[in-house]
Structure formats: C-alpha cells, structure tokens
Structure 1
Amino acid sequence: MSSGIRATVTIDSPEACPIARFSRETGTTIDQVSTSVACGTKGSTTEFLADVDVEFDDAVTGPVFSYGTTNLYRCSHGEDSHCPCECLGAYDCPVHRYRATDGDVTLVFHADGFDQLQAIMDEFRERFPGVDVRSLLQPPLSGAPEERVFVNRGKLTDRQYEVLETAYEMGYFERPKRANATEIAETLGISQSTFTEHLGAAQRKLLGDVLEADA
C-alpha cells in the first residue's frame, strides 16, 4: 500500500507568485492552471484562465487567447523564481490543484511520505510566513480521483465555524435531532435567527466547494 500523502496548504499573499498578484489586483479567482517544463532548461511556463481582459505587468503575458469572456494568460518561472510552485518543483512535486483568490493561494500536492512533506513545509514556512496546512490525507481513499474535492473551511468566518461546530457537536444534523435551533442559539448566546443565518452561510460556502460551484 502506498505511504504517500495528499496535502492541502494555503499561503497568504505570496508576493513572489505572479498569479497570486494577478488574482489580488484584478479581484479574480483563478483555479484553471497548467504548467509545462521546457526541455533542456530549468524554467517552466504556466498558463491560467481568468474572467478579465487586462494587460498586467512584465511577469504575465496576455491575454494570449480568448474564450469569449474568459482569457488565457501566461507567465514564466526561471531559476531565480521563489514562488510556491517553484518550491514544490524543487522536490519533484507537481501542483495537483491550484486556486488563487484575492491574492491568497491554495495548493494541493502529493508528497511521497512524511519526510518529504516535512522538508517541503519547512521550506514553505521559511519562504512564506503566512502558510497553513488545511488537510493531510493518506490512502486508501474511497471514490474516484475526480470525486475527491478540496473543501476550504478557511472560507468560513470564525463565527460561522463556531456555529457549525456547535451545531454538529450538539447533534443538530442527526436524525432525530438531539438539539434544535433554539437550544443551540441559547448555548451560543445568540438569537435563533442569527444562528440560522450563520449556519446557512457556512453550509452554502462548504457546499459550493463540494459541488465545485461558486459559493
């Protein structure tokens, strides 16, 4: 059985990443990214799609191609690059999934074991102070690879997370329920309507990830 690890990490505004800067300064979410390595060189070229039509800076070329309202951009990574993707490349770990929102980056990658994962995370922490491990998964996992999606609980506010966690622990989602909305709201010291509002917002955000829809 494989001892590999699937890691999901978030990095707050890595300035060395041109795609993260593009996301922040244009107010777009970027989650369609592909990278190719040029033969005989240590560099790589990354293409990404964004729902904007802008000329950015010298680090990003484009739009290179237009798919109607969505445009393709391109950026290059050389030997002196210090972005998260380049850091993973040094360990022969390609990025499995990439998402940039408001300048913050979420990466999913596969390490071959805990030793490699620890080395990668040590370098991440040295380069990027705002790095956080969101999840670590080891096989076996059920379902096909395309059915396994990343659920970003970082989308929740502290209050939304507290409401969701309390509702779960008190048995709100069980059948029959062990606690109703009024009881949970009293435990949290909020009104029932406020509880319902926070719970609904949290569920919409998480279900948006599960259904791979815009929350």
Structure 2
Amino acid sequence: MTDARQRSTMTTGLRAELRIDAAAECPVAAFSERAGAEFRDVTWTGDGGTVVEEFRGDASDADPPDVDRVFEYRNESVYQIERTGDGRCPCEVIEGLNVPTGDVRAADGSLYVTVHLPSADRVREVIERLHDRGFDASVQGLCRTVGAADESAATFVDRDTLTERQAEVVETAYEMGYFEYPRATNAERVAAELDIHPSTLAEHLATAQAKLLDQIVG
C-alpha cells in the first residue's frame, strides 16, 4: 500500500474535500469521536495485511489500549494505530479507484479526505462508490485547480454555508440532471422527488445558488 498523502501532479482539475462518516470502520475516526478531538496528517502504511496509521493531535493524557502515543511535542502528540488491511476503510476504497489523495484528518467520528480529480464526474464516481460500500459521504468543499501560473483564479466553495435542506435540494437537482444542458429533468419532477412544491424548490435553489455565487464571484 502506498502512502495516503501522495501528491497530485495535475495542473488543472478539481480539489474536493470529502466528509465520510466512518467511525464504524476507521479506528482513527472512532478515536476522534471517543476523544472529542481532531486529528490531522493521517497517513498509513501496510505490509503483509497489517496497516499502521499515524496521526497527530491532542486527545488527553489517557490513551485507550488500541492507540499508541509514540511522540509528544508541546500540546500535541503523534499516535499510531495498528489494524488489519481488509480494504473496508474508506481511504482504501478511494485508493482502489486510483484517486490521488491529499490531506486526511478526522474529527467527531468523520474523516475529511482531500482528493484531486480531473472532473466533476470523477468526484461523483468516488461518492457513489463510497455510498455503495455503506458510507455516508458528501462533498464539503470544491476548488478548481488552475496551475501555478494562475493560482489567484482558484476558488474554494464551502458547502457548510448551505443549510442541510438547501444542500439536499441542490444535490437532488444535480443528480436528476436539472443543471445539465439540455436538462434531463424539470423542476416539477425534482420537487416531486423532494416532496415539496415547485415554488419552494425554486426558492431553495435560488438561495443556495446565491450563497455559492457569493463565494465564487465575491
């Protein structure tokens, strides 16, 4: 298994941060939930079916028996967890799609994984594969990478500016092809899927798009 923090060499494409609820399958995510702490710089290496995960943060003075504190510096520690490399960890699922990953962190039982992809279709493919494997996964932020010569044109879109309902409306409309040209569906069908009135759909979409455009244009 390769290091999880391999760097992408693409000069154009998309950088997306994925949120994956993974406490049931990922010991680092589970530890973040138990400890009430955020852990950063999550990496992993494997040999012979055994995987060693390493990460840093500040949990507390008391560590559970399955977590080794291997180094301490000021208010932070470096931890290691050993697990079986059975391919069920969400990061291994992403690696199985040959997707380059960047930073990986864990907080409140969720993993936040940065991936580098050439198109939105590949982002959707990764999300769908994670859903197929039973993970609740979503895109938290999206940034188009345009190369070192024009880094000022890169834009980061923060999904958390949307309410849960607004995000659901946008995702449903997107998945049903409402934003395609020509459109694969219409507002009435999207509204019916969400069990809301078309005027309510229009209001949610307008508000959500305004929030996202404020980030892009502003």
The answer to whether the 8 Å contact 1:111/1:117 transfers is yes
Pairs aligned (count): 153
Q: Secondary structure at the match of 2:33?
A: helix
More strand by share: 2
Cα distance in 2 for partners of 1:57, 1:152 equals 37
Q: Which amino acid aligns with 2:25?
A: A
Tell me how far 1:116 sits from its aligned partner: 4.3
- Residue 19 of structure 2 is matched in structure 1 by 10
Tell me how far 1:80 sits from its aligned partner: 1.0
- Residue 51 of structure 1 is matched in structure 2 by 58
1:56-205 equivalences under 5 Å are: 56-58=64-66, 61-113=67-119, 116-140=122-146, 142-143=150-151, 152-154=158-160, 158=163
The answer to whether the 8 Å contact 1:16/1:81 transfers is no
Name the CA shift for 1:68/1:136 in 2 (closer, same or farther; >3 Å): closer
Q: Which amino acid aligns with 2:126?
A: I
Q: Secondary structure at the match of 2:132?
A: helix
Name the CA shift for 1:43/1:90 in 2 (closer, same or farther; >3 Å): farther
- Residue 171 of structure 1 is matched in structure 2 by none
Cα distance in 1 for partners of 2:86, 2:57 equals 26
> Any gaps of 5 or more consecutive residues in structure 1?
162-215
> Any gaps of 5 or more consecutive residues in structure 2?
1-9, 167-218
Q: Secondary structure at the match of 2:105?
A: strand
Q: Secondary structure at the match of 1:120?
A: helix
Cα distance in 2 for partners of 1:63, 1:151 equals 35
Tell me how far 1:127 sits from its aligned partner: 2.2
Cα distance in 2 for partners of 1:77, 1:26 equals 19
Cα distance in 2 for partners of 1:153, 1:76 equals 33
Name the CA shift for 1:79/1:67 in 2 (closer, same or farther; >3 Å): same
CA offset digits 1:14-56 (Å, max 9, x no partner): 4101111111100001123233354xx4654321012123322
Tell me how far 1:131 sits from its aligned partner: 1.2
Q: Secondary structure at the match of 1:121?
A: helix
1:28 aligns with 2:28: no
Cα distance in 1 for partners of 2:101, 2:36 equals 23
> Percent identity over the alignment?
26
Cα distance in 2 for partners of 1:22, 1:83 equals 14
Q: What RMSD in Å do the two structures reach over aligned CA positions?
A: 3.4
TM-score by structure 2 length?
0.56
Tell me how far 1:118 sits from its aligned partner: 3.8
